[in-house]
Structure 1
Amino acid sequence: MLSVEPPNTEPDTGSCHAALRKLHPLERTRAVPPRKRGEGQWALGYREPLNKNEETKKNDDPLNVGRRIVEIYSRTGFDSIDPADLRGRFRWYGLYTQRKPGIDGGKTGSIPEEELDDRYFMMRVRIDGRQLSLAQLRTLADVSVKYARNTADITDRQNIQYHWIAIEDVPAIWDAFEKVGLTTMEACGDSPRAFLGCPVAGIDEDEVIDARPVTEDIRERYIGSKEFSNLPRKFKTAISGCASHCTVHEINDISFVGVVNEDGVAGYDLFVGGGLSTNPMYAERIGVFVRPEQAHEVWKGVISVFRDYGYRRLRNRARLKFLMKDWGPAKFREVLQNEYLGYELPDGPPPAAPKPSRDHVGVHRQKDGNYYVGFAPQVGRVNGEKLNLIADLAEKYGSGRTALTADQKMIILDVPEAATEALVAELEQHDLQVNPSSFRRQSMACTGIEYCKLAIVETKQRTMDLVDELEKRLPTFDRPITINMNGCPNSCARVQTADIGLKGQLVVDEDGNQVEGYQIHLGGQLGQAFGKKVRGLKTTSANLTDYVERIVRRYDEQHSEGETFAQWVGRADESDLQ
């Protein structure tokens, strides 16, 4: 192993400039005299770091921290970790300090981060939309049991997320993952984060194109490359040929969506600039047709545009969506083609409308005559023991292969038709519902205050309790409805795109006390509209279930034939939404 070097804290006197000149031969033709501060765009000559995050990345490439974790910090312990590594570069290896227990939501954002830090870590494992082998799933389960106090959550980025990870155990965890082809590299940070892919790619009867070769090609070429380890902020990718549009292409920084052009050739439509958080924006169609063999070049071009032209001065504007908003798709296409690809992409068709359900839950036939069985753990919360149980069932009834979905759900693949009924029975015996209620099937929740330093309120358990109570109060309700809960404004659980989005905040109850509660977004529709915020519409945690029951009952009573919840919200009297 190479020798370990500490972070470089000396001023960079030109290496960054030289590297960029090498990467961008057209730099001199497009550079302009910088304004006083600008937006921190490298391509326009703004080289000096304009905030602490940019300075940390310039001082030492974040990918270098991996060696320090293995050779220094895991041996010398938590107290030896350089703060710039702990709260900065560790993220490039999927590690965040988790929230210290007992700190209430009123202190989030008001006390120094080091006071919120526990001595343990959250760890994300990138799956990149791949179907998991039996060995991979058992390794994920074993790491949970041995090193993470039996915690494991399925995220809506198709990651596995652990808690209670000690720095001393990280090398052993990485060794276990490496043996089965998994990694935590660039699962977080200002980097190309985990890719979304259709969990039934290659086996779904209705798919437009099998995107797995393209996804694997891009992953092998660019993940862990220092060419893209210093982006303005995170960069989210979705690559899929799924007819259900299960990778929610509308809200990713870049998405390749399967289409067939006028010559009958299968390829991809390109979407750029989606994202939620406090300024939600849907991705824009660039209007081009991308052949599968071009996809890696186009991906590299788009992420390079973000790296070079993305806004670095203000963190709250450092996402690709803001550049797209200012440029528009026509200019983005022009820059992509002229400055990065060196050739024009042909115009292409838009994707077909998605199938009614995007989540792959239930029993479905595969191309080969076998079946896949999708099921719903409550809000993605599983654990090591349950993952081992799922591995047992996958081995018993299928080929051993499983997959995670972008809706915090899971799938067992390659099940003979004769075995599906027995598999469904065993899954449901362990509360892994294949035929879940509408509330269970389409609910999601972020990590919440239990572990997250950004959170203000509880989410996971509260959503589970909400779903359980709604199933009791409304046992016959069977219309599709999404209920997403987030612990802060960042929308990790996509509150703006849900029928009922619940954004955590502190509210005042009827007695004048400040308590946990939620701002309510109503009628969100992926790719069409964000949830409506009714003036003053909030609820305390104590009144949450009563509110959701009330509004679901009103929709059930008032909807017309075929009318969705979002459509009803759009025409309902404001009084009916209270």
Structure 2
Amino acid sequence: MPPSSAQPGRTATAATPRRRRGEGQWALGYREPLNKNEENKKNDDGLNVRDRIINIYSKRGFDSIDPADLRGRFRWFGLYTQRAPGIDGGKTAVLEPEELDDSYFMLRVRIDGGQLSAAQLRAIGEISRDHGRDTADITDRQNVQFHWIRVEDVPAIWEKLESVGLSTTEACGDTPRVIMGCPLAGVAEHEVIDPTPQIRQIYDEHIGSPLYSNLPRKFKTSLSGCSSHCVNHEINDIAFVGVRDGAGEAGYDLFVGGGLSTNPMFAQRLGAFVRPDQVSEVWAGVCSIFRDYGYRRLRTRARIKFLIKDWGAEKFRQVLEEEYLGYALQDGPAPELDPGLERDHVGVHRQNDGRFYVGFAPRVGRVSGTSLLRIAEIAEEHGSDRIRTTADQKLVILDVEEERIDSIRAALGAEDLQVEPSVFRRQTMACTGIEFCKLAIVETKARASTLIDELEKRLPDFGEPLTINLNGCPNSCARIQVADIGLKGQLVMNADGEQVEGYQIHLGGGMGMTRSFGKKIRGLKTTADDLPDYVERVLRRFQDQKKDGESFASWVGRADDADLK
């Protein structure tokens, strides 16, 4: 068994050298908190805040909330204070947390594997409508995020969610967050393995456990068996990717240490084949290594990607096998990447049982409770009880009979949920932005929506695959470094010398066969108002200069800097 949080590790030849003690690793005996976040977690497990929310704060209101709970432990149950209205981006890094806080919350619902029944989606829609001013976001982590939530309403929200088998437990915080999974699990035509049983086992055995409720930072998991690798194993803390071993048995290839933000790193492949019956304990072993050996001194170095960067994949695997599993994992093959498959599952496609799934695109993930209720209704009217969220802020309805395809396409289209969207509608994502997020510097959702409209007018025949991701700050919730056009929100100077909202531009990022972080060109920025002009200009140059079959990212790699400005 791996060491518990009370017994944080054993001395071993593979252990980190003593000189790393200053990183605050528990396994090296450094248990005293090194910053306020660590002190807060030591004082009280974040899981304990649930009872206080139900019994105290929901009854006494926002002003009764202990600040250590409000800006810390509330996250263990998916709650963040949202940004107070009217605070411009220039004050984001200047004001104290209490000056940025509104008395309302954002609340994330875990949707592990992206899997929802119609009843579950209906419950989510009703919560948005009744408690969140009819606003919600489909995130690129397959969650649904509410806004405008009052603490007084949280117990009733939890009761409704739990009545249909949903939860907000560890949706945020220094915890194992939502487990991402292929939306087509069990129905994809070319699926290597259905990860649904392993997702459920990890959730049942480990989520909400005190053993894993005090990690150095957040811990993101993905499992996928589809051939498009749609949950982006390259940028998760731990990822299990469906493969077949030399004997033809289906299992998983193990990746550790992916992540973006201000220090982007791709996950490292450990070269280990993990059988389905081993997944939960291997997950627990990797999570335990992070808990025990992860860096706790500086929050900026506390993700597992920094540990595996320092150790290397070989040592990480050795520690996993010798200290935590007690057995060696089988060596295994790398996953096969298909350059021709889109990862978002938008459109109408055949399932392995002869029925069809229908993927459609809300506008940059922004939906309403009313629209979610209508989606549940449309699914049921067309014989489906299975709706899925994707890692690209999209939705999928499974199990549609062929003769119902035209009808469901029309019904979704009537709600502005496009099954055959333009490339700009299909492949533009945006984070929450300054409208609600206290970390943001600029607006994103409305800006991205306007950009889509402008590009559809200006470039109506543009058909090349192209991802445009907008982020309100440097933290890359919208994955700007791995987009064809990644836009990092910041304040810039306009032509009149005024400081206005704008974006630093990253070009040519991608995952899969074109795995790379976007190129940054010195001084390449745009104001928010000039953004449509810039994107139109660079896309027209791409169209004029590209070779047959050349992707945007490939063109960026060889284009002159002047053509990218």
TM-score, with normalisation over the residues of structure 1?
0.95
* SS of the residue 1:457 aligns to: coil
Unaligned segments of structure 2, at least 5 residues: none
Counterpart of 2:551 in structure 1: which amino acid? T
Counterpart of 2:168 in structure 1: which amino acid? T
Whole-Å Cα distance in 2 between the matches of residues 232 and 138 of structure 1? 35
Q: Does 2:399 align with 1:414?
A: yes
Whole-Å Cα distance in 2 between the matches of residues 32 and 457 of structure 1? 41
Superposition deviation, residue 510 in structure 1? 1.1
Partner of residue 149 from structure 1, selected from 133, 149, 170: 133
Q: Does 2:531 align with 1:544?
A: yes
Q: Does 2:293 align with 1:309?
A: yes
Superposition deviation, residue 257 in structure 1? 0.1
Q: 1:500 to 1:262 in 2, by over 3 A?
A: same
Whole-Å Cα distance in 2 between the matches of residues 22 and 44 of structure 1? 11
Partner of residue 237 from structure 1, selected from 192, 202, 221: 221
Partner of residue 118 from structure 2, selected from 134, 152, 155: 134
Q: Does 2:348 align with 1:398?
A: no
Partner of residue 158 from structure 2, selected from 166, 171, 174: 174
Superposition deviation, residue 219 in structure 1? 0.4
* SS of the residue 1:183 aligns to: coil
Residue 323 of structure 1: aligned partner:
307
Q: Does 2:273 align with 1:289?
A: yes
Residue 258 of structure 1: aligned partner:
242
Counterpart of 1:489 in structure 2: which amino acid? P
Partner of residue 567 from structure 1, selected from 543, 554, 557: 554
Residue 480 of structure 1: aligned partner:
465
Identity of aligned residues (%): 67
Whole-Å Cα distance in 1 between the matches of residues 502 and 75 of structure 2? 29
CA contact (8 A) 2:241 2:252 kept: yes
* SS of the residue 1:363 aligns to: strand
Q: Deviations over 1:319-374 (max 9, x none)?
A: 00000110110000000000000000011000011352111100011111111100
Whole-Å Cα distance in 1 between the matches of residues 81 and 50 of structure 2? 16
Unaligned segments of structure 1, at least 5 residues: 1-17
After TM superposition, list the pairs within 5 Å mapping 1:179-578 onto structure 2: 179-354=163-338, 355-526=340-511, 528-578=515-565
CA contact (8 A) 2:5 2:211 kept: no
Superposition deviation, residue 33 in structure 1? 9.6
Counterpart of 2:100 in structure 1: which amino acid? L
* SS of the residue 1:38 aligns to: helix
Whole-Å Cα distance in 2 between the matches of residues 464 and 250 of structure 1? 28
Q: Does 2:45 align with 1:61?
A: yes
Q: 1:332 to 1:480 in 2, by over 3 A?
A: same
Q: Deviations over 1:162-209 (max 9, x none)?
A: 000000000000000110000000000000000110011001111110
Q: 1:91 to 1:381 in 2, by over 3 A?
A: same
Residue 43 of structure 1: aligned partner:
27
CA contact (8 A) 2:136 2:367 kept: yes
Counterpart of 1:172 in structure 2: which amino acid? A
Counterpart of 1:431 in structure 2: which amino acid? D
* SS of the residue 1:102 aligns to: coil
Partner of residue 115 from structure 1, selected from 81, 84, 99: 99
What is the aligned length? 560
Whole-Å Cα distance in 2 between the matches of residues 413 and 41 of structure 1? 45
Counterpart of 2:503 in structure 1: which amino acid? Y
Whole-Å Cα distance in 1 between the matches of residues 73 and 5 of structure 2? 21
Q: 1:572 to 1:456 in 2, by over 3 A?
A: same
Whole-Å Cα distance in 1 between the matches of residues 535 and 28 of structure 2? 50
Whole-Å Cα distance in 2 between the matches of residues 239 and 167 of structure 1? 33
Whole-Å Cα distance in 2 between the matches of residues 541 and 223 of structure 1? 41
Q: 1:176 to 1:27 in 2, by over 3 A?
A: farther
Q: 1:31 to 1:557 in 2, by over 3 A?
A: closer
Whole-Å Cα distance in 2 between the matches of residues 386 and 137 of structure 1? 10
Counterpart of 2:220 in structure 1: which amino acid? K
TM-score, with normalisation over the residues of structure 2?
0.97
Counterpart of 2:516 in structure 1: which amino acid? A
CA contact (8 A) 1:30 1:43 kept: no
Whole-Å Cα distance in 2 between the matches of residues 206 and 254 of structure 1? 23
Superposition deviation, residue 129 in structure 1? 1.3
Q: Deviations over 1:260-286 (max 9, x none)?
A: 111000000000000000000000000
Superposition deviation, residue 34 in structure 1? 6.0
CA contact (8 A) 2:434 2:472 kept: yes
Whole-Å Cα distance in 2 between the matches of residues 490 and 365 of structure 1? 37
Whole-Å Cα distance in 1 between the matches of residues 477 and 291 of structure 2? 23
Q: Does 2:108 align with 1:124?
A: yes
Counterpart of 1:493 in structure 2: which amino acid? A
CA contact (8 A) 2:488 2:503 kept: yes
* SS of the residue 1:207 aligns to: coil
Superposition deviation, residue 28 in structure 1? 8.3
Superposition deviation, residue 526 in structure 1? 1.3
Whole-Å Cα distance in 1 between the matches of residues 384 and 4 of structure 2? 47
* SS of the residue 1:158 aligns to: coil
CA contact (8 A) 2:14 2:318 kept: no
Whole-Å Cα distance in 1 between the matches of residues 426 and 470 of structure 2? 14
Q: Deviations over 1:75-124 (max 9, x none)?
A: 01111100000000000000000000000000001010100000000000
Superposition deviation, residue 403 in structure 1? 0.5
* SS of the residue 2:115 aligns to: coil
Whole-Å Cα distance in 2 between the matches of residues 178 and 43 of structure 1? 36
Superposition deviation, residue 67 in structure 1? 0.4
Whole-Å Cα distance in 1 between the matches of residues 412 and 16 of structure 2? 61
Whole-Å Cα distance in 1 between the matches of residues 192 and 350 of structure 2? 16
Q: 1:324 to 1:37 in 2, by over 3 A?
A: closer
Superposition deviation, residue 395 in structure 1? 0.4
* SS of the residue 1:418 aligns to: helix
Counterpart of 1:574 in structure 2: which amino acid? D
Counterpart of 1:500 in structure 2: which amino acid? I
Whole-Å Cα distance in 2 between the matches of residues 498 and 472 of structure 1? 22
Counterpart of 2:453 in structure 1: which amino acid? D
